[in-house]
Amino acid sequence: MILVSKQDVYAFVIGEDVLGGGGGGSIKEGLELGTIATEIDTVRIVQPDEIEEDKTVVTVSDVGIQSNGKTEKEQYVRSVELLKIYGINVEGLIPSECGAIGTVNGWIQSTILKIPVLDSPCDGRAHPTGLMGSMGLHRLREFVSIQAAVGKRIGDTFSEILVKGELESVSKIVRAFSTISGGSAAVARNPINARYVIQNGAPGALTLCKKIGDSILKENEPYNKIKAAMRPIRGTIICEGIVTKKILKNKEGFDVGIIEIEDSTEAKCRISFVNEYMTLDIQEKRLAVFPDLINVFNLKTGLPVNSAEVKLKDSVAVTKVSRENLLLGSGLKYPEVYEPVRALLEPEICPISFTQP
């Protein structure tokens, strides 16, 4: 078991942000959530061998557009409470992904509702769609998805829905709800036994977040921080330069666009994103494609920057980590989960088609 104190929050969030790969929320909001949780009580993260296999585990997440909308702490708690009101005996919580907000999502719910967090998130990196964060449950013919979502505040309460049905359809409803409810919504979803979670999630990914964060915090110089971030996951720095172009569109509840970086030789590095960074091309040659982990680090701070926060004229370094070095959940193993992303990456955004190598 990991007992997370206030002093541990920064290491977790920085490491989580690296695994966010352009998505997963901002460092600032992740630090706020993590700090609030540890001020309430010590966060308990249990290891896979510390939970009974038949315990009911629920996924918690923040659904919406990174560049628009901020979720309040009460929304996170209320989403789990809605499932409990519906009759779900919630005995464990898991994040849907690793990201600056993604991984600490569950901590506030855990400390207030006294439910442990399990170190087996749905995925060991951030991803754009609910289907990708559902551990392959969409392939279980008998599985019925139950999802509770809590959106923007209305007076003294929040807008909220509870939806039950086929997983992909329910996920689309929740995504649409987040868009019309302030831009983001807290979600608690897909009750399933711990056995399935451990077999199909990413056991040990939260521990890896802390390891990456600790590695970064040992360094003082920004460039050394970037190299330290890559060390535990065997990543490489691909290019360094200035951001010369950025296109960002809000499409179907996602941040979609491109970032172009020009290095000292005038070579162009082009990154497409759907919340997370999806493809990495240099001079029209593809070097990485999701779920490879692509990151943009600010050279002044040595910290990763998500796709919504990258700005023109930023000095940045671009890194790549092969998917083989990541802890990926079953939700990324099936070709059909990539179709929504492919549809969003129009030729203007991604001239070289988005295909899985």
Residue spans per domain, the chain: 2-200, 220-329
Annotate 61-86 with DSSP letters as a single string: EEEE-TTS----HHHHHHHHHHHHHH
Domain 220-329 has CATH 2.40.390: yes
Q: Return the sign of the alpha-carbon dihedral for residues 72, 207, 46, 57.
A: positive
Give me the residues of the chain with pLDDT under 50, please: 357
pLDDT in tens, 104-157: 989 999 999 999 999 999 999 999 988 898 999 999 989 999 999 999 888 888
Say what the pTM is. 0.90
Phi, psi of 18 (to 5 degrees): -60, -45
d(CA 292, CA 295): 10
Q: For residue 283, which amino acid is it?
A: Q
Tokens of 255: 């941040």
| Dihedral sign for Cα atoms in the order 178, 31, 131, 93 | negative
Q: Which fold has domain 2-200?
A: CV3147-like fold (3.40.1610)
Whether the CB-CB separation of 215 and 229 falls below 8 Å is answered with yes
Measuring CA to CA, how many Å separate 217 from each of 29, 43, 126, 220?
A: 19, 21, 22, 7
Are 2-200 and 220-329 equal in CATH topology? Answer: no
